[in-house]
Chain A
């Protein structure tokens, strides 16, 4: 059982990759803990996300924090025992701010979009690189997706067991 006392009782969550701090939008939209972000960049998300941590669940080898925003997004962050976000999932009527959410992996995502044999309107996509996997699908009113960093998966945690 994971016990990460430093994070458990506070609404703040593991926050932004440094890259995002300089790139981020002017708080017009939500910001979340970026994928691969760590505890050294703890940030008060209640302000920027305009949402709250609504649930924290502990699993063997990892922790899941659930954030709910007032735009109806539900975002799950999966944390290693060391406090690194190794996976994320989202669902809601709109897409989350993926630039903020994916952190340093956002450029990988955009590069992968540019390499599709058939660009344009899509309703479902899967991007798989050595260090970044993302599945994103849906339409206005119902987007559902997740992303993870294979190299950060805690030992002994099978991917298929992640409660997205």
Chain B
């Protein structure tokens, strides 16, 4: 898909009205506790990914518009991964540069640029924290701190300790997206742990003009933050709404919606019957898989492409394009997991689900409802297959939505 620069306000307005036209984003008839009239729905698309990184599966993408603060110098970035498992916006630097948008860098009290080493399992993104006005549907976050994934090595080089956990994955190729929009349960990606630790965590760095970077504590306001929480309204959480798949063996593409706000408009009210799972200070609830007595840390994560857990009794695909995922000898394989909330909402609920056989998957499809991962045994992760046919609610910490206060996941 081609990235289209939107540089004129008129174009932007046209795009917004198109979105609300598609989804009827704002309602005016239902009673709400704090009604707003802001368009609060943006499209989510599952497809094969950006042109530079084709071949993705179970990746949910949104388009994000960012502007140099206070200006109409903007870029519209397609194929930004929608991620309920992280917090904050990260964009591939060269994609911004191609649209001639240069975002100002944050600096620390000594005038050094603030750069971040964001760790994911299996790799890191590295680059400066920059400021942008971020637009999603009719919502705006002004001067929001986000991470520029410095694939062009335009800023200070990553210190030796960043990239020691796999590989740097700043480029769209390899990352599988032009960026990631983290709409998780937190206000900031790192939070208090990066503010005042006696030994600064290897996350935020102050970088001298000579390019020498040292890990340093960083105030909450300077950390890469949840852009949803910075909206003027509809800022207490999100709903990810993806339809059931038409084909158990894979759909070519899927469209759904990302709705901003919980209980703020007629389109984001919380239903009376809802499974609400509180999370701990790390963002996890607990999951017990298939009767196991081991409670694993768990999350509902659109950034993971599969039901990601370890079960040594399920065969792992050894050939084809799904090596490493589960290839059960009898499929679909019925399994179950009990979710138990932590923190404020500690209820339990059982989820029955099924693992499909990738050998039967349709070639060229990008959305699969039964994909299970040969993942680690230290977590249980409800990835994208869990989202198909569900409304997933993410409540941001310290914010109330309906009768609930975040942080929580719900469905």
**Which of A's residues lie within 8 Å of B, judged by CB?**
25-26, 28-29, 50, 69-72, 93-100, 109-110, 113-126, 135-146
Asked if residues B297 and A138 are in contact (CB atoms below 8 Å), the reply is yes
> Shortest distance in angstroms between B216's beta carbon and chain A's nearest beta carbon?
12
Asked if residues B304 and A123 are in contact (CB atoms below 8 Å), the reply is yes
Chain B interface, >50% SS class: loop
Q: Can you list 24 contacts pairing A with B, beta carbon distance less than 8 Å?
A: A29-B202, A93-B190, A93-B282, A97-B161, A99-B165, A115-B323, A116-B324, A117-B321, A118-B57, A119-B175, A121-B176, A123-B308, A125-B375, A125-B376, A137-B378, A137-B379, A138-B121, A139-B85, A139-B283, A140-B118, A140-B119, A141-B281, A144-B297, A144-B379
Q: How far is the CA of A119 from the CA of B374 in the complex (A)?
A: 14
Q: How far is the CA of A117 from the CA of B51 in the complex (A)?
A: 18
Q: How far is the CA of A109 from the CA of B121 in the complex (A)?
A: 12
Q: Tell me which residues across on chain A come within 8 A of B303, comparing CB atoms.
A: 121, 123
Asked if residues A25 and B161 are in contact (CB atoms below 8 Å), the reply is yes
Q: Tell me which residues across on chain A come within 8 A of B309, comparing CB atoms.
A: 124
Q: Is B305 an interface residue (CB 8 A)?
A: yes
Asked if residues B282 and A124 are in contact (CB atoms below 8 Å), the reply is no
The segment out of B12-20, B191-199, B241-249, B270-278 that lies at the interface is B191-199
Q: How far is the CA of A70 from the CA of B201 in the complex (A)?
A: 9
> Shortest distance in angstroms between B63's beta carbon and chain A's nearest beta carbon?
18
Q: How far is the CA of A25 from the CA of B159 in the complex (A)?
A: 9
Q: Tell me which residues across on chain B come within 8 A of A72, comparing CB atoms.
A: 193, 197, 201
Residue of B123, B198, B305 touching A118 (CB-CB under 8 A): B305
State whether A109 and B197 are in contact (beta carbons under 8 Å apart), knowing that A120-B174, A121-B176 are contacts in the complex.
no
Asked if residues B201 and A120 are in contact (CB atoms below 8 Å), the reply is no
Q: Tell me which residues across on chain A come within 8 A of B323, comparing CB atoms.
A: 115, 117
Q: How far is the CA of A54 from the CA of B386 in the complex (A)?
A: 40
Cross-chain pair count, CB within 8 angstroms: 179
Q: Tell me which residues across on chain B come within 8 A of A125, comparing CB atoms.
A: 121-122, 375-376
What 0/1 pattern do residues 89 to 122 of B give for CB contact below 8 A with A? Answer: 0000000000000000000000000000011111
Q: Which residue of A lies closest to B124 (CB)?
A: A95
Q: Is B284 an interface residue (CB 8 A)?
A: yes
State whether A144 and B378 are in contact (beta carbons under 8 Å apart), knowing that A113-B122, A125-B121, A125-B122 are contacts in the complex.
yes
> Shortest distance in angstroms between B317's beta carbon and chain A's nearest beta carbon?
9
**Which of B's residues lie within 8 Å of A, judged by CB?**
53, 56-57, 81, 83, 85-86, 118-123, 159-161, 164-167, 169, 174-177, 180, 186, 189-191, 193, 197-203, 214-215, 281-284, 297, 299, 301, 303-305, 308-310, 321-325, 373-379, 381, 383
Asked if residues A94 and B381 are in contact (CB atoms below 8 Å), the reply is no
Q: How far is the CA of A155 from the CA of B327 in the complex (A)?
A: 32
Q: Tell me which residues across on chain A come within 8 A of B281, comparing CB atoms.
A: 141
Q: How far is the CA of A113 from the CA of B375 in the complex (A)?
A: 13
Listed from nearest, the 7 A-B pairs whose CB atoms lie closest are A135-B376, A142-B282, A120-B176, A25-B160, A29-B161, A137-B379, A124-B375
Q: How far is the CA of A115 from the CA of B176 in the complex (A)?
A: 15
Most chain B CB within 10 A, of A26, A118, A139, is at A139
Q: How far is the CA of A115 from the CA of B321 in the complex (A)?
A: 11
Asked if residues B376 and A136 are in contact (CB atoms below 8 Å), the reply is yes
State whether A28 and B159 are in contact (beta carbons under 8 Å apart), knowing that A72-B193, A97-B164, A140-B118 are contacts in the complex.
yes
Asked if residues A70 and B376 are in contact (CB atoms below 8 Å), the reply is no
Asked if residues A124 and B304 are in contact (CB atoms below 8 Å), the reply is yes
> Shortest distance in angstroms between B145's beta carbon and chain A's nearest beta carbon?
15
State whether A141 and B379 are in contact (beta carbons under 8 Å apart), knowing that A97-B165, A120-B174 are contacts in the complex.
no
